[in-house]
Structure 1
Amino acid sequence: MTFRQERVQLPMMQPLRRPSIIDQAELELRNAIYYGDLRPGDPVPEVQVSRQMGISRSSLREACQRLVRDGLLTQVPGRGLFVTHMDAETMSDFIDYRLGIEMQAATIVADRITALRRAGDDAGADRLVAPLRVCIERSRAALAAEEVIEAGNADLDLHQQLAEIAQNRFLGAAMNTIVILTRMGSFSDPLGFGVRADLTSMHESLLDALSQGDGSRARALLRESLQELASRLRSGVQADVVRDPDLLESSGPEWTTLAETPE
């Protein structure tokens, strides 16, 4: 058999590359903020951090500017960079933004589940929300063990999973930053890091609504939950909140003291 060599019109493709130093530095800083190694108000001294990471100060600056753009760091002229503190006005604006993202994700997921159940694929619908159930069980176990930070992690993972299940890369990317901003809001609470005592039952209600394809109810539950979070962080009300006594305040990160080095 003879094959003809024909010219194939290929689509435009971007060269593949490994994560850059700047990408890795950005991820390290994001993780430090998420896990509380960097708390709201903590400084990010350029010289010490670049030396600890083993990168140039210019690379660190670029990584930090990405976090400034996303609201995770705040640049104060003449003073440097600080982890953003979520005050009442910032929290109000943030909750409005988060509501828009999560309610859209819930709508997409509920519509997909409705389509699956109408097609008689109940097993497929159950598989779709299975990652949310895993997060709920993590929350339940963490609260039973009085591991407040792990309960908070499971809560944020559930909301991240909701965006991932929607299979919209823009919603997923937005949630990557939203979960960190939410964690920063929790660490900004003057009464210390806490989670709702009824976290598991709240998640169960959301899962039940999604499993039935009830997007309207899922959106209402999300709105109620996020508005409660904003109100709690603004007012400092302690009712029905479980707090971790080891996470009441931050003494700041332990930066290595190093002499000033040239650019």
Structure 2
Amino acid sequence: MTSPTLQPVVQETTPSLIARQLRRAIGQGELAPGQQLNEAELSRRLGVSRGPLREAMQRLTQEGLLVSIRNRGVFVIEVTDDDVRDMYLARTAVERAAAARAIEVQAAHAGERLLEVVETMAAAVGRDDADALTEADVEFHARLVSLAGSPRLSRMHTTLMVETRMCITALETRYASHAFRLEEHRGIAEAIGRGDTAEADRLLRDHMEDALGRLQPAGEQPGR
């Protein structure tokens, strides 16, 4: 009998590997909003030819992280307040669907896996390490969606989380890491672990509204 823990090994193509690095660079602000991508420079830095680099850039253009302007070149998208609101609208929809599915198929296991990340967040709070807290925050949401077992939700969420990182980086004067995020995530994880779909859904919506409020200008925060 084949062990269920053994899965086929999937080798990523070169364009996929390049696209992953470009997503990371965009999310972390190394490739800044509005910046034009220089093919020759990127090809040199990544140690790849222009063919797979162009394919990777085309993928990110289709995802909406890059924009191609005729006769000018390819640019990183710029983050606006409308983009922030729309991105959180999409994230809320994806993560609510993922939470409901995770509860349906593996509630207790999903709760345990999410609480592992919460403990990482707690350690970051204890060290007063804002960067580590943010990384754990991102990991929590990525893991939540992965636990739904939906490749399509995961693909959509990957792009949304890159945009989330862009928002935090570009609007960092409006965003700060707060320890209260720890308890918000713990509550979501515990509700999922109990199989309490309604409570998990409510907590996720509240969490997204809070996050959006921190990224929006004063006076434009959503009503509660």
TM-score range for the pair, normalised by the shorter chain length = 0.7 to 0.9
- 3-state SS of the aligned residue for 2:173? coil
Q: Name 2:94's counterpart in structure 1.
A: 101
- Cα deviation, residue 209, structure 1: 1.3
- Cα deviation, residue 44, structure 1: 2.1
Q: Name 1:172's counterpart in structure 2.
A: 154
User: What is the TM-score when the length of structure 2 is the normalising length?
Assistant: 0.83
The structure richer in helix per residue is: 2
The C-alpha deviation readout for 1:82-103, integer Å capped at 9, x for no partner, is 3323211111111111111100
- Note the residue ranges of structure 2 that are not aligned, 5 or more in a row: 1-8, 220-224
Kindly provide the amino acid, as one letter, of the partner of residue 114 in structure 2: L
Change (3 A) 1:176 1:235: same
Structure 2 residue corresponding to 1:28, chosen from 21, 27, 46? 21
Indicate the percent of aligned positions where both proteins have the same amino acid.
28
The list of structure 1 runs, each at least 4 consecutive aligned residues, that deviate by more than 6 angstroms after superposition, is: none
- Note the residue ranges of structure 1 that are not aligned, 5 or more in a row: 1-15, 115-124, 238-263
Q: Name 1:90's counterpart in structure 2.
A: 83
Change (3 A) 1:21 1:225: same
- Cα deviation, residue 149, structure 1: 1.6
Kindly provide the amino acid, as one letter, of the partner of residue 82 in structure 2: E
The C-alpha deviation readout for 1:148-175, integer Å capped at 9, x for no partner, is 1211111111111111111122222222
Change (3 A) 1:84 1:23: same
- Cα deviation, residue 193, structure 1: 5.6
The C-alpha deviation readout for 1:54-86, integer Å capped at 9, x for no partner, is 323333222112112112223344443333232
Q: How does 1:18-167 map to 2 (within 5 A)?
A: 18-113=11-106, 125=108, 127-167=109-149
- 3-state SS of the aligned residue for 1:194? coil
- Cα deviation, residue 190, structure 1: 4.8
The C-alpha deviation readout for 1:96-152, integer Å capped at 9, x for no partner, is 1111110001111223356xxxxxxxxxx2x33222111111111112222212111
Q: Which of structures 1 and 2 has the bigger CA Rg?
A: 1
User: What is the TM-score when the length of structure 1 is the normalising length?
Assistant: 0.72
Structure 1 residue corresponding to 2:188, chosen from 185, 193, 206? 206
**Aligned length in residues:** 211
Asked if the contact 1:113–1:210 (Cα under 8 Å) also holds between the matched residues in 2, the reply is no
